[in-house]
Structure 1
C-alpha cells in the first residue's frame, strides 16, 4: 500500500511543478496540491484504521 501512496505523491508532485512552471497551467498546480493533500490524508486514515484493527485482534 505504501508503494502506491509514494507513486501517487510523486505523480501529483510532478503535476504541481509543471503547473507552476507554466503560468497558463496554474490550475494544474492547484489541482496537484489538492491531490497531494488528499493522498496524504487518505494514507493516514488507512494507516490508522489498519493499526486499530491490529490492536483489537
Structure 2
C-alpha cells in the first residue's frame, strides 16, 4: 500500500479497493506502519528505496 501511495495519485479509498476492498483507514494504518518500520530498520529502508527505483525504471 505504501508503494502504491508513493508511486500513484490514487486516493486512499481507491488504494483500499485495489487491495481487496480495504477501508481507507486500513490503508492509512498500513502506510504508517511501513513508515515506522523504515525509520526503525535501516536495512528495510534501503530495500524499500531499491524497490522504488526498480519499479520506476
TM-score category of the 2 structures, normalised to the smaller one? 0.3 to 0.5
TM-score between both structures, scaled by the size of structure 2: 0.43
TM-score between both structures, scaled by the size of structure 1: 0.43
Higher relative contact order (CA 8 A, sep 6+): 1
| Bigger radius of gyration among the two | 1
Bigger helix fraction: 1
